[in-house]
Structure 1
Amino acid sequence: MITILALATTVVPAGTTFRCTPTRVWDGDGPLWCAEGPRIRLSGIAAREADGACRSNQPCPAASGNAARDAFVRLVGTPVGKSREGHVLVKGPALTCRSLGNAKGVRTAAWCSSPQVGDLSCAMVATGTVLKWPRYWRGHRCGAERRANGR
């Protein structure tokens, strides 16, 4: 695993496994700010925007943007306040993430795993606040699906 400190405003290269200690969350699929620098967009899922809107080119879950954000916060740690910009500040254990590369701008698309809940994309789908986005899910399997297929 690589610790990335110099990539605060750049994308973690695809294929790189890295550590992310969560510090703030914007909405239900990210970005998630990491103390180590990267900003993560969780792979394979779609959530409503923070203002409740859905983008026309992605799945639109029934849950509100705030419900998805709050579920994401609970999965990565404990809320400890709000930033001036409206991010929920969080304190939680380090995640292990695997980069898929650029998620537009300075965000890294990544599959991340928490020591408490395992695969975060799978855990978010299980909350019912986000939907799998088939275009990006690409055969990803959650715990029960992996076990059923012997993987």
Structure 2
Amino acid sequence: MFAEVIAAGLAFACTPTHVWDGDGPIWCAEGPKIRLSGIAAREMDGSCKKGHPCPAADPIRARDYLVRLIGKPVGRAPTGHILVSGETLVCRSAGSGKGDRTAAWCSNSTAGDLSTAMARSGFAARWDRYWTGRGSQ
């Protein structure tokens, strides 16, 4: 399924259904696939992409922490994604997150800003290049 990228600056809702790793993608029932803006997490094989910040955190623990910030796990898809149930996220697009992913800042009422929560937890590294306008959070 190809998801359209939400144009930068637009606000949108995301009812989360799937999570891949500690910085996304988060699949939304409404269609978008979100890569959380301003952070980088290890890939599920434990590697870090060249030129990306590389946190020390285990990728499975990072993914599971993001799932808990979003809501709760409710299963596993054949693709390996964790199926999630949680409140609708309020997101603002930062533009393309490469391919069919939208880079976005998303929050909910329990965790607040997900990128900030992941960076503060140590499960993801703040990526200064994309942290623009966010202050020292």
Residue 141 of structure 1: CA displacement? 3.2
* CA deviation map 1:125-145 (0-9, x unaligned): 122111100110124136xx5
- 1:131 aligned to 2:125? yes
Q: Percent identity?
A: 59
Report the secondary structure of 1:109's partner residue: strand
Which amino acid is 2:53 matched to? P
List structure 1 runs of 4+ shifted beyond 4 angstroms.
none
**What is the match of residue 31 of structure 1?**
25
Equivalent residue number for residue 49 of structure 1: 43
Give the paired residue count: 137
Candidates 99, 111, 114, aligned match of 1:117: 111
Alpha-carbon separation, structure 2, partners of 1:35 and 1:63:
29
Show the counterpart of 1:70: 64
TM-score by length of 2: 0.95
RCO higher in 1 or 2 (8 Å CA, sep ≥ 6)?
2
Matching residue's letter, 1:104 = K
TM-score, with structure 1 as normaliser: 0.87
TM-superposed CA distance for 1:42, in Å, is 0.2
Report SS of the residue matched to 2:23. Answer: coil
